[in-house]
Each structure stands twice: as C-alpha cells, then as structure tokens.
Structure 1
Amino acid sequence: FAEALLLFRRMELDGVKPSPVTCVTVLASFTVRRLLPQARKFHARITALGLESNVIVGTEVITMYEKCGSLRDSRLVFERMPQKNLVTWTTLISSYAHGHGREAMEIFERLLAHGGLEPDAVACVSALDACSSMASLEQGRKVHRIVVSRGFESNTVFASNEALCHSLMTMYSKLGRVESVREIFEKMASKNVISWTYIVSAHAQAGDLEMTLSLFAIMQLEGVAPDSIAFVSVLSSCSHGGLLESFPMILRCTTRFFPVRSTTAALWTLWDGAGSLTTWRSLWRSCR
C-alpha cells in the first residue's frame, strides 16, 4: 500500500497524469479496515482528477471501500456513478451479500429491473449468498428460477459452473432442503472435495446419520480425500445422533488424510457429544 501510494505521488510530481489503470492498481492496495482514512483521501484525489466517472475506476473504488469496511461509502460511490456495467452491480451485491442480505437483494432487484443489463451466473452466485445470509427460502427459490430462466441450469452451463452449484447447495442446506441439495449435486458434471463436503454436511446438519456415513464412505471410494470440514461434519452428526460407536471407524479412515493434531482438535470440539473425558479418551484410544 505505502509503496504504491508513494509511486503514485512521484508520478504526479514528475508531471505524469495517472491513467485509469494506474488508479485501479493503487486502489487494489487498500485491503484492510485501518486504511479507511487513507482510502478516502486517495478517493478524493481520484475525484479531483476526474476519474471517478470511469466505470472501471468507480467499480474498483466500491471494492476498495468494501475491503476497508465501509459499505456506506461503497453505496454512495455506486449511486453517484453515471454509468454502471454488470461488474459494477455484481460488485456491490457481493459486498452486501454476507451479513446484509436484504440490502444485497434490493440491489439485485434493481438490476433485474434495469433495462439494458441482465444478471449473469456471477451475479446470481452473489444473490444466492445473500439469500443464505438472510435465510430466505422464498428469495432463494426466486433466484433459482432466474438461474433456470437464464439457461444457467442447462447441462452445458450449470453442471460445469461449480460456484453456482455450490452456492445453491449452500443456500438449500442452510434452509434444511436436503432434497434440493442432492438434486443439484447429482446434476454436477464433476464433483470435487468441496462438492462432496457440501452434500455430506447437508445430511449431517439434517441429522440423517445413515446417509451421512454412507456418503462419507462413497466419497472416499470415488477417490476424493475428505477435507477437515467434511471430517468434522461426520463426527458432529455421530456425536449429536448418538452414534459414538462409529467414531473409531471414521477416525481410522480419516487419520490417513489428517495429522494427529487435527484429529485430536476435532474430537475436542465434539467432547460435549462424548459426554465425559473418560469416554473421549476411550474413543481416541480405540482408533490409534
């Protein structure tokens, strides 16, 4: 950040007018909240140079303020921009999606009403993230219908768009719609560890112990090594579902993928499910 700003100032002192590309490069260096005061000063300089109206620069300013923790400033810049492209709209929706779902969906609705632009798969992913954060099945289904109507759910587009599939799976999982999660999972052309983790976690969260364990086993038979999230999801399901006897079998399987420290940490996390330190120690000894 400091070096980029210093070079920018030297450029101006040498009589070189900064280009939009130069401004975007410097804007990208503002990445943490503590830099908000400096970010505002640099934004003022961009405005003085007459570059804020540039759609690429303006969009990057929105991103900068989001990274610096000021969605209010992001929104003000957005509303002042004379021209906005699809990236601009998607950037603001994404900025609001996690923790400010209603605002994100309000902007998404405005995008839908916009005469010259239509949301793409990336915009739909951000909208789905917003639906997940606000736990709205109605809004989520609406976005899903848009995904279908725009053709993003076709075999050639949807199945190969992992981000879109995963966002739909996350939303339906959080809303307890395991059948919908499974339907999307089955449509995917290829399934990686993240895809498998979502489907395993969805059944674990729903308390479907048998299917959780079955999918966890199939995942490995398919040659996909489970990550720590899938691992903890299965253990959590067993813990809360009263299947403590399944712990040793799972642990013996998963210690191939995780160091002892990670496995122990996961068990400590689930200690409440074990009921006592004696039970926890017994489970750990049984899988060594």
Structure 2
Amino acid sequence: MTPDISRIIQTVLVEIISDRIVERLAATKRKALVLLDMSDAGIGDAFQELNKLYRDSWSLDVAASREVFDARPSIFPGQALAIPQTAWTILDVASPMTRISSLLADKSMLIVPNMSMALAGKVAYGISDDTPSRLMTAALETGKLVVAVKDACCPVCRDQDERLFVANDAYRAMMIANLEALDSFGVRLCRAPKLSQVVSRALLPIAPDKGTPNPRQNTAFITPQALTSLPADSKGVFGWQDAKLANGSTVNIAKGVVVTPLALEELRARNISVIRH
C-alpha cells in the first residue's frame, strides 16, 4: 500500500471515528429526567414542548409521585405525553435516596414542566420532605442542570392567566422571592411555550461574563421620570423589587449592574424599556 493511500485511509477512519464519538457524546447529553408535579398551569404547552423534545431524539424518562400518577386524568385532562409508560418511575416519600440518585445518574438535566407553588417554596428554603422536593433538591446537590416552568409560581404569569388572581403585594413578593432563590441556585426558569428552546440551549456552554460587576462597586439605576435614585445592593443587582419601583416608560441601568430575569419580565409586563449606560 502506497503512503498516500495509507494516509487517505487513516484520515477517513479518523473522521468516521470522530463523528461516532461526537454522536455518542451528543446522545449522552440529550438525556433528561422529567419530574411531574401537581400544577396544571401551562401544562398543555409544556406537554407539547416535551413531545417536541422526544420527537427530536431526546431520551426522556418520567418520575412522578404516586399521587400525581393516580390523579393524572383529573390534573391533566386531555393532555398526553408521547413518552411511553415503560419510561415512567413512580416514587413515594419512602423511596430511598439511592433510587432517586440512580434516576439522575445518567441524565444531563432535570426538567420540571409544571412546578407548583409548593415545590418552588420548599426548594427555595431547602425543604425536601416529599417526592418532588427530594428529587429537585438531589438534582441541585449533584450539579445537574435544572429547567423548570414557572407559570404557576410567577405573579406576572398568573396575571396573564384566565383564572382569577388578585393576590396582594406581600403574597406576590413571596412568589418572586422563591423564584429569585431558585434562579440564584442555577435553576433555568421559563414559560411553558419556551420549554424545548430553553432545554436545548441549556446544553450550550456559557461564555464567561466579562461585565460581572465588582461587589464593592458603587452603582445606581435611575428612573428619569420619577427623578429617583435607586441604589444597587452590595452585589450590584437590579431585582424584582427594584423593577416594581420603576416609573415611566424607560429605566436607565448603570454599567456593571446585573438585571435579574424576573426584573426584566416585570419591566416588560409594564412596557418599560431598559437603557444600558
């Protein structure tokens, strides 16, 4: 065999093997555990998004408590998951942590398509006394990516729901505090119609943020119409409470200040645009 032919064969073999390795790694990453909770807010859109991921060759297993599994017809009327029943695992409070850990072991992430207020509150405060909270806590403690739909837990989402929602500011602040805690834990929060998009993007590497503020930096955000100076906290973060204080049609954000996703959603809901300086 001549050197040229040998080199060509080696090149072709390397390319084939490399493609196989890339395919294997991609398949490994596209494995997720779906945790079904008790909320039905946005569940129709969430199930459609899960089915979209399943059709897109995602390997999805489902975990649910016995209560959720038995109550499926009443909780999720007319909604069907394409994920076969053979991929479902029923857990209860007595299920050992070794079993919960084994469900997560070969998965790249945990997807919660219908996170309830109870689950958000428990995980935000480090409480894990039932199946959903134990599973979500285990995912965070073992460094798994967690993507959760916030439709039932976010006051802005609930305001846009057809069902009556007239909670006072204190109750809304509690909801936001829970979500901001989850956000700080690394949970990717999203609306139900965006679930598949957020799940797919969660696998992409995150570029380092060159604009991360110095915690000691003295920053401020100003709402010109109100002529009010709102001092940033020690972390230089513009949060939901700050967004609630904003007036007028624009808010100026000082350079280096981090705007939380919940603050952005609050501003968008009130048609307030953000100007960076």
Same fold (TM > 0.5)? no
With a CA cutoff of 8 Å and minimum separation of 6, indicate the structure with the bigger relative contact order. 2
Relative to total residues, which structure has the larger strand share, 1 or 2?
A: 2
Relative to total residues, which structure has the larger helix share, 1 or 2?
A: 1
Which of the two has higher C-alpha Rg?
1
Q: What is the TM-score with the length of structure 1 in the denominator?
A: 0.31
Q: What is the TM-score with the length of structure 2 in the denominator?
A: 0.32
